[in-house]
Amino acid sequence: MPAFLGNLRPLGAAALLLALALGNVTPGRTAATTLSTREIQRLEDLGRTWVYVDIFDPYLNSNGAEWDQALIEAIPAVRASGDATAYTAALNAMLRRTGDPSARVLEAETNTSTLPPPLRQQNGTWIADCSAMAHAVTTGAAPFQLAENVAAHPTVVDCRGFTGDGPALYAVIAAIAHTRTQTPLPAGSALVRSYNGFPSEAGTSSAGFAAGFSLVSKGALAPGTAAPSKTPLVFIIDNIAGPALLPAVAALQSAGQARIVAGGPIGAGVATLRTPRLTVQISEGLYTYPAGAVGFRPDATATPATVLRKAIAELSASPSAILREPALPPLQRPVRRYKNAGVPSAEQRLLALFRIWGTINYFHAYKSLTDRPWDAALTEFIPVMLAANTRAAYEAALLRLAARTQDGHTRIEGLTDAPFGFSEHRPAIRVRFIEGRLAIVAIDDPTLGAKLRVGDEILSVDNTPIGILEQRLTPFVPAATPQAFRAAIASRILTGPPSTIASLLVRSARSAPHAVRIPRIGAPPPQSAGAWHMMPGNVGYIDLERLAPADADRALDELATAKAIVFDLRGTPQRTGWAIGARLAKANAPFAVAKFRRASYQGPPNNGIAQTQWLALDDIERPAPVKRYEGRVFGLIDERTASQAEHTALIFKAAANATFVGSTTNGTIGDLTGIQLPGGLILRFTGHDVRTPDGRQLQRAGIKPDVAVTSGLRALRAGRDDVLEKALDLARR
């Protein structure tokens, strides 16, 4: 729990806190009684493996594999596995569902056999052994000497079951190429899964995140200067050394310099995931020949018992045909759809956990800013998800997991049986914590004026004290800063089921506590009336929460003669900041608003637990060509200035060096994306890291005011807005 939550009023019993944190978990199978440490660890490694393959394995997009179903079937097999052999078999059975020839759990290498000579004759045929050649290089042999020996005779280069130093073997293969060409040999490419941020599975994102495939070049093999060797050459490759060697060997094949015999399909390159207990390998990409054909195509395939005989026969065959046809396999996976009914099964609940954990792990913009390592959340929530065998417990568990991101953007949508505080219905009033008390700051329904006043303190909701309700909400509320936490609690504490009555215990400045009953309603649409006006002293005022996009230009036109304009950013704007900012610009040149950073991958990261790769972008805006405002600009900010409002503040600062008055903003900024989850739910999270133009962190920090002002209860009850009054005073000077 974040340190800033320590200021909450304590409950009477630690047991109550534990019950609240667990949610409504029905008694039954729990971690304490039935899940061993080994079972949790195995499920953790299963989850890491499944996510890594799900996000990065190229074969999932080309063979129609039902990868969710593969996990659902693997979970009981992993939980039932006894020894390590059975566990590995369960993982490999799942990995085979990908269709990826390289996907497997790597066993510890135990090579006790005696290596043959690097080059030997067998029944009149010259055979070069890859393991022996690599060993020879590591012990001092020159790769070019080995290559010249191979070039002297028709030779089968046998790379089956390779053990040894991979780079040493690649040096030998490159040297063999050196003896067979006087021009560079293109080594082809890998068609890899690529990401420019994480594209939303539910709705769109304003950041333009995208995923697809891209070609990663494998370079070229260097030519030699001597006359090329013309002796026949055949390679035998398998899925041990084959993926790493494939670009070099296929370069020789496509140039008509060698033939290849293989036991089956082979991907282009390998990527490796290492967990604390196992190592998993997948294909980096789909091999693409220099002339455009996608997918490796051996000249011949054979069983292990016949492969050597087949390779010897291939020495007499004609050179390989150059593969030109650029036929692409289908590269679009079906859209995930999950039923919105009841409680998902235990396997589906773990699938939800793995999807959330993995997507956050590889794509969340601010994962490194959490107080507790995100990596640990996977282990922690495996027993929680297995125990969450009701819809209410499942939704509560997902909310707790989302809260671990400590990012107010993270949320679960589609909830049907969520804990207290997650309804969209609330009384037609707005509240805020002021001086540690929950106070009414606005009344949206004029008919409530007979019952309530701005400045009234709410002591309890539905007969439960505010302090207890704070504690109930705490495990489920993701918040980046202390002020963001207070704002989130205030926005949720009055909510309840639709058409219910909120029973409030209210204390005003002049009366004892008294009960008030108010209906809960859905969120009303923004009211644009009075969103802008001229104030005394020739100072304009614009409330950006109420200003409709269609009125932005009109508001600026009508306030064009003001000596200053005060923009109220204490709420969520309606995407007007960009258009307004362009008209506030003081210079004619484009201006830098922010620096962006998003997760970006060109193929799978190796050791892919936490190796997020980042793409940096600059947010540059352009001034409006005409009708720009020339006066001073002020902004009112506090903890309600979040997300789009904070970005709008960045625009105004960059365009017009706006002066900010109030208190530090929420500290929650960035564009959202989302994933689908079992139970018909959606996880939204931040996919864009947004910083100031000079690179300073905004998330979990916020924008500090140029002039600090806080408004107390006394001013609120007197009808004063100290923050606005200070800004007006500065603007009139």
441-456 per-position pLDDT tens digit: 999 999 998 899 999 9
DSSP state of 160: T
Regarding predicted confidence, which is higher, 551 or 20?
Answer: 551
Q: Indicate whether 155 pLDDT > 90.
A: yes
Which of 656, 649, 657, 633 is closest to 702 using CA atoms?
649
Which tokens hold the place of 276?
Answer: 């604390």
Amino acid symbol at 694 = D
Span 124-133, average pLDDT: 95
What is the pLDDT at residue 138? Answer: 93
- pLDDT tens digits, one per residue of 542-599: 999 999 999 999 999 999 999 999 999 999 999 999 999 999 999 999 999 999 999 9
432-458 as b/e: b if 16+ CB within 10 A: bbbeeebbbbebeeeebeebbbbbbbb
Longest CA pairwise span in the chain (Å): 109
pLDDT above 70 covers a percentage of the chain that reads 93
| Most confidently modeled range among 268-282, 338-352, 467-481 | 467-481
Q: Where is average pLDDT lowest: 230-244, 606-620, 657-671?
A: 606-620
Distance from C-alpha of 522 to C-alpha of 502, rounded to nearest angstrom: 13
What is the pLDDT at residue 56? Answer: 95
C-alpha distance from residue 57 to each of 45, 278, 562, 727 (Å): 17, 18, 59, 55
Q: What is the pTM of this model?
A: 0.90
Q: Indicate whether 667 pLDDT > 70.
A: yes
What is the pLDDT at residue 341? Answer: 75
Which of 661, 621, 659, 666 is closest to 643 using CA atoms?
666
Q: Where is average pLDDT lowest: 259-273, 382-396, 642-656?
A: 259-273
Q: Indicate whether 733 pLDDT > 50.
A: yes
Q: Indicate whether 16 pLDDT > 70.
A: no
Distance from C-alpha of 395 to C-alpha of 678, rounded to nearest angstrom: 11
Q: How confident is the model at residue 113 (pLDDT cuts 50, 70, 90)?
A: low
Distance from C-alpha of 91 to C-alpha of 52, rounded to nearest angstrom: 13
Distance from C-alpha of 682 to C-alpha of 543, rounded to nearest angstrom: 32
The answer to whether residues 169 and 133 touch, using CB atoms and an 8 Å cutoff, is yes
Which of 134, 105, 426 is closest to 279 using CA atoms?
105
Look over the chain and give the mean of its residue pLDDT values, rounded to a whole number. 90
Q: Indicate whether 7 pLDDT > 70.
A: no
Number of residues in the chain: 733
Question: Which class for 703: exposed (0-12), middle (13-18), buried (19 or more C-beta within 10 A)?
Answer: buried
What is the pLDDT at residue 264? Answer: 78
Span 477-490, average pLDDT: 97
Distance from C-alpha of 502 to C-alpha of 523, rounded to nearest angstrom: 15
Residue partners of 452: CB distance under 8 A and separation at least 6: 429, 440, 443, 506, 516, 518
- pLDDT tens digits, one per residue of 194-229: 999 999 998 877 788 999 999 999 999 999 888 899
Regarding predicted confidence, which is higher, 336 or 100?
Answer: 100
> First-to-last CA distance in the chain?
46
C-alpha distance from residue 165 to each of 272, 511, 519 (Å): 16, 83, 73
What is the pLDDT at residue 134? Answer: 94
DSSP state of 718: T
What is the pLDDT at residue 29? Answer: 37
Residue partners of 595: CB distance under 8 A and separation at least 6: 616, 617, 618, 619, 690, 691, 692, 693, 695
Span 320-344, average pLDDT: 77
Q: Indicate whether 655 pLDDT > 70.
A: yes
Q: Indicate whether 63 pLDDT > 80.
A: no
The answer to whether residues 1 and 400 touch, using CB atoms and an 8 Å cutoff, is no
Q: Indicate whether 111 pLDDT > 80.
A: no
How remote is the C-alpha of 304 from its chain's centroid? 42
What is the pLDDT at residue 12? Answer: 34
- pLDDT tens digits, one per residue of 236-285: 999 888 888 899 999 999 999 999 999 878 888 889 999 889 999 999 99
Which tokens hold the place of 614?
Answer: 């980042």
Span 183-191, average pLDDT: 92
Distance from C-alpha of 85 to C-alpha of 323, rounded to nearest angstrom: 41
Question: Which class for 271: exposed (0-12), middle (13-18), buried (19 or more C-beta within 10 A)?
Answer: buried
Beta bridge partners of 507: 457
Which of 359, 344, 362, 365 is closest to 401 using CA atoms?
359
Span 625-653, average pLDDT: 97
Alpha helices in 404-445 (DSSP H): none
| Most confidently modeled range among 16-30, 194-208, 307-321, 481-495 | 481-495
What is the pLDDT at residue 61? Answer: 81
To the nearest 10°, the Cα dihedral for 174, 176, 182, 183?
-40
pLDDT above 90 covers a percentage of the chain that reads 77
Q: What is the 3-state secondary structure (H, E, C) of 166-195?
A: HHHHHHHHHHHHHCCCCCCEECCEEEEEEE
DSSP state of 385: H
Round the CA-based radius of gyration of the chain to a whole number and report it: 32
Tracing tokens 């997507």 back to the chain, one arrives at: 359
The angle subtended at Cα 344 by Cα 341 and Cα 349, nearest 5°, is 145
C-alpha distance from residue 25 to each of 19, 22, 230, 391, 484 (Å): 9, 7, 73, 9, 28
Distance from C-alpha of 639 to C-alpha of 668, rounded to nearest angstrom: 10
Half-sphere exposure of 271 (CA within 13 A, CB side): 27
Span 365-380, average pLDDT: 95
Q: Indicate whether 467 pLDDT > 90.
A: yes
Q: Indicate whether 464 pLDDT > 50.
A: yes
Say whether 348 sits in a helix, a strand or coil: helix
Q: How many CB atoms lie within 10 A of CB 393?
A: 22
Alpha helices in 81-189 (DSSP H): 84-96, 130-138, 143-151, 166-178
Helix-strand-coil split of the chain, %, nearest 5: 35, 25, 45
- Positive or negative, the CA dihedral 693, 694, 698, 703 is negative
- pLDDT tens digits, one per residue of 694-719: 999 999 999 999 999 998 999 999 99
The answer to whether residues 633 and 565 touch, using CB atoms and an 8 Å cutoff, is yes
